[in-house]
Structure 1
Amino acid sequence: MKTTTLGFALAFATLSSPAAAQPACTPGTYAAASGDFVVLAPAPNIAAPGLRYLFRDGRRGATSDAGVPLRCENDAVTVGNARWQRIAFRETPTSFDSVATKLTGVLIEPPGAADPKRPLVVMVHGSERTSPIGGVYGYAMAAQGLSVFVYDKRGTGGSEGEYTQNFELLAADAAKALETARALAPGRYGRAGFFGGSQGGWVAPLAATRAPADFVAIGFGLVASPIEEDREQMVSEVRAAGLGKDAEALVGRLSAATAKLLLSGFEQGYAELDAVRAEMARQPWAVKIEGEYSGAIARLPDDELRRVGRARFDNLELIWDYDAVAALKRLDAPLLWVLAGEDREAPIETTRAALMGLKAAGKPIDVYLFPQTDHGMWEFVTDAQGERQVTRITDGYLKLLGDWVRSDVHGAYGRAERLTAQ
């Protein structure tokens, strides 16, 4: 899940040409009487006055696209023949201190009378450096009757400090965010917990062992270490290329060599890496191997790795051999885990096995899998070159998150499969 560069995929690509002129849209969340909604929000890759839109069923795009399925009016949008009204959320900006660092956040609450039973969810985001404040996901959760707290991670947006991917430090920040959110909504919430996406799958469960959380929900995260993630990505690559067990074994040896480099601060592992390079040189397909980082490491000479390896690959305090299973064993709160069935960035094989083992052991875990989806719960089409082009968030994913947090799971959620322990 791009532990070193990218993360929870919150940036969307604009696929269509500009639409015919229509009244400029106003950022906000607009709802139908049926409970359907659409969130409109600015996005860095969409030129103003265009906005990102996201429907509950996962359709997304830009209001400047051709064929956009809505029309904007004053404080309302028209979808089909229906007029959807803007939701007047209560928003409370705040700041809070965590580990001697000031972080910024905002509490989003549905309109109407205070509800002491309304769930409160803290959004723990992935490794991206963009601010979630004002983005579509917080409002998509709030539109389903939840109180939502979003905050800028340290070193991003309006928060101070240095950007890091140290799970321990990020978990301390998330725990403090939950404490802050509770203090902002006295008497206006019931269950309170975390949602984490991508890298948030490592951080949110750890945070819940440090703060009294009533639930944890995870989307497309891993129950595996960053080292295991790298190895699984490479195995996924060789399988996609139709290669056999010998190729899987070779990339496994590459992962072991690069792991030794990372865990030793690029002091040890060169002999092992050189041996793997010699094997790779005899395999034409090996030049295309990437993984999370191993492919890039293998292509650099040893003298350069000794000189700049740590600066390039190990500069964010990542816990490479993080024991994700141990954190989940310490977690007593109910857990939802949603898997993307064809996740190339965070392959699910190890994660699925770990979750089902914990579930069989009696942990309160619900596991859902959406088939034919990639990281971010994206549906996709594959072009002639074998590259995936994302189309939409899969139908049912957002609704499943909202219903589960409200303890109101019922019916079908798109193509989701609920997994049971064997």
Structure 2
Amino acid sequence: MKHLLSAVALLSTFSAAPALAQTACTPGTYAAPDGDFVVLVKSPAVAAPGLRYLFRDGRRGATSDAGVPLTCGTGDVTVKGKAWAPIAFRETPATFDSVGTKMAGVLIEPPGTADAKRPLVVMVHGSERNSPIGGVYGYAMAAQGISVFVYDKRGTGGSEGEYTQNFELLAEDAAQALGQARSMTAGRHGRAGFFGGSQGGWVAPLAATRTTADFVAIGFGLVASPIEEDREQMVSEVRAAGLGEDAEALVTRLSQATAGLLLSDFRTGYEALDAVRADMKDKPWAAKIEGEYSGAIARMPNEDLKRVGRARVDNLELIWDYDAVAALKKLDAPLLWVLAGEDREAPIETTRGALLGLAKAGKPVDVYLFPDTDHGMFEFTTAVDGSRSVTRITDGYLKLLGDWIKGNARGTYGRAEHLTPR
């Protein structure tokens, strides 16, 4: 998972309906009588008056796309000839303090009478700097009968402080967010816990060791350190290119060398890096290797690395050798982990093994894998050059999250493989 924000162009794959000029769409969440729903929100990636849409089955796009699978009316939307009514969520802005920093969030509650058994989830977002408040995922969770608290990461949106990727500090923020959400829903919530996506897979379990949490759910996260993530990304790259075991060994050495620089604050480790560079210099593929950071480090002269390497690569307080397994061993709450089978940003080999090991040891770990999906649970098409184009979120992922958080996950969810059935 990238530690810098990258924009992904998302394509709509629904083409059965004719292209329509959508000008009257109103942001909101609209539900069908059978519980299906679609979320419409404003998005910087969609030119006004268009809105981003997300269906429960994972179809997503913009209302301005050709072939959009809905039409907007006055106060409702129409899908396949049937009107879907808006869900009247109760949304309450909030602020809370964490480590001397004022944080901003919003509580989203489903309509209806107070329900002392309704689950409550705090959304722990990933490495992005954009605000999750007003985004599709909080509403997609709330549309399934869950109270949701979303908040801006420190240094982003309405939250004060400096942006950081220090897991310890971010976990403290998440723990305080859960306390705030509990106080706001006193008497009208049941089990309460965290959902974390991507980098949230490091933060949410750690937060659950800092406070009382009834569950933790993770999507496309890692049970590995950022250093291991870098190595696995490069191994994934050379495997995708069909380069063989020698190339895997070289990129593994490269990751070890760059880790030495990072862990020494770029003071030592240059001899090991130079040795790997020498062995890679005649490899035509070496110039294209990226990883999380090793490719960029390998292509910077040592003089530059000594002068500005830390400022460029290590300026967000990331814990490079973070022990994710140790945090999970401390976790007593039930854990859901959903893997993207072809994840290029967070390759799953080490994570899958660690999770299954924890489950075998008796930890309450529930693991699902969606095949043929990339980071974000996105399905994709692959071009001749190996590049991928995102199409949709895989069917079943959103429903699995909702059902598991509510404590009633059962049956099949799209093409998901349940790796830890009981």
**TM-score, normalization: structure 2?**
0.97
Query: What is the deviation of 1:211?
Result: 0.8
Return the letter of the residue paired with 1:32: A
For 2:124, the equivalent position in structure 1 comes to 124
For 2:286, the equivalent position in structure 1 comes to 286
Residue 416 in structure 1 maps to residue 413 in structure 2: no
Aligned positions of 1:3-402 closer than 5 A = 3=3, 5-6=4-5, 13-14=10-11, 19-402=19-402
Q: Distance in 1 between matches of 2:383 and 2:245?
A: 27
Q: Distance in 2 between matches of 1:231 and 1:22?
A: 45
How many correspondences in the alignment? Answer: 419
Identical amino acids, percent of aligned pairs? 78
Return the letter of the residue paired with 2:33: A
Query: What is the deviation of 1:15?
Result: 5.7
Deviations 1:104-161 (A, max 9, x none): 0000000000000000000000000000000000000000000000000000011111
Q: Distance in 1 between matches of 2:250 and 2:210?
A: 40
Q: Is the Cα contact below 8 Å between 1:198 and 1:220 reproduced in 2? A: yes
Return the letter of the residue paired with 2:341: G
Flag the 1:253–1:313 CA change in 2: closer, same or farther, 3 A. Answer: same
Deviations 1:320-364 (A, max 9, x none): 000000000000000000000000000000000000000000000
Secondary structure of 1:74 counterpart:
coil
Deviations 1:223-260 (A, max 9, x none): 00000000000000111111111111110110000000
Q: Distance in 2 between matches of 1:63 and 1:193?
A: 33
Relative to structure 2, which stretch is displaced further, 196-205 or 72-81? 72-81
Return the letter of the residue paired with 2:378: W
**TM-score, normalization: structure 1?**
0.97
Q: Distance in 2 between matches of 1:284 and 1:410?
A: 49
Flag the 1:26–1:421 CA change in 2: closer, same or farther, 3 A. Answer: closer
Q: Is the Cα contact below 8 Å between 1:14 and 1:46 reproduced in 2? A: no
Query: What is the deviation of 1:283?
Result: 1.3
Q: Is the Cα contact below 8 Å between 2:11 and 2:390 reproduced in 1? A: no
Secondary structure of 2:325 counterpart:
helix
Query: What is the deviation of 1:21?
Result: 2.0
Q: Distance in 2 between matches of 1:81 and 1:329?
A: 51
Q: Is the Cα contact below 8 Å between 1:41 and 1:135 reproduced in 2? A: yes
Q: Is the Cα contact below 8 Å between 1:225 and 1:320 reproduced in 2? A: yes
Secondary structure of 1:170 counterpart:
helix
Query: What is the deviation of 1:22?
Result: 3.5
Q: Distance in 2 between matches of 1:370 and 1:355?
A: 15
Q: Distance in 1 between matches of 2:420 and 2:90?
A: 39
Q: Distance in 2 between matches of 1:49 and 1:288?
A: 39
Flag the 1:421–1:21 CA change in 2: closer, same or farther, 3 A. Answer: closer
Q: Is the Cα contact below 8 Å between 1:41 and 1:51 reproduced in 2? A: yes
Q: Distance in 1 between matches of 2:275 and 2:296?
A: 16
Secondary structure of 2:292 counterpart:
coil
Query: What is the deviation of 1:401?
Result: 0.1
Q: Which runs of 5+ in 1 are unaligned?
A: none
Q: Distance in 2 between matches of 1:223 and 1:132?
A: 24
Relative to structure 2, which stretch is displaced further, 14-23 or 407-416? 14-23
Q: Is the Cα contact below 8 Å between 1:13 and 1:61 reproduced in 2? A: yes
Query: What is the deviation of 1:421?
Result: 8.5
Q: Is the Cα contact below 8 Å between 2:378 and 2:390 reproduced in 1? A: yes
Q: Is the Cα contact below 8 Å between 1:209 and 1:330 reproduced in 2? A: yes
Q: Distance in 1 between matches of 2:275 and 2:414?
A: 48
Task: Show structure 1 runs of 4+ deviating over 4 A.
Answer: 14-19
Secondary structure of 1:414 counterpart:
coil
Flag the 1:113–1:264 CA change in 2: closer, same or farther, 3 A. Answer: same
Return the letter of the residue paired with 1:68: V
Query: What is the deviation of 1:12?
Result: 5.2
Secondary structure of 1:261 counterpart:
helix
Q: Distance in 1 between matches of 2:257 and 2:242?
A: 24
Q: Distance in 1 between matches of 2:42 and 2:321?
A: 37
- Aligned CA RMSD, in angstroms, stands at 1.5
Query: What is the deviation of 1:24?
Result: 1.5
Q: Is the Cα contact below 8 Å between 1:396 and 1:414 reproduced in 2? A: yes
